[in-house]
Amino acid sequence: MLFRLFTLLLSFTLFSQEYEITSENIEIDTELNTINYEYNVIFKSDEIFFTADSLKLNQKNESFIAYGSPIKIKFYDGIEFIEGEAEKVEIDTELLKLSRNVSIIKSGNKINSENLTIKLSNDKS
47 touches 76 (CB < 8 A): yes
pTM above 0.85, yes or no: no
Q: Is 89 exposed, middle or buried (0-12, 13-18, 19+ CB in 10 A)?
A: buried
pLDDT of 96 reads 81
Q: CA-based Rg of the chain, rounded to a whole angstrom?
A: 14
Domain residues of the chain, as ranges?
Answer: 6-119
**For residue 2, is pLDDT > 80?**
no
DSSP 8-state symbol, 121: P
110 touches 104 (CB < 8 A): yes
The CATH class given to the 6-119 domain equals mainly beta
pLDDT tens-digit series, residues 69-117:
999 998 877 788 889 999 999 987 777 888 999 998 888 889 898 988 8
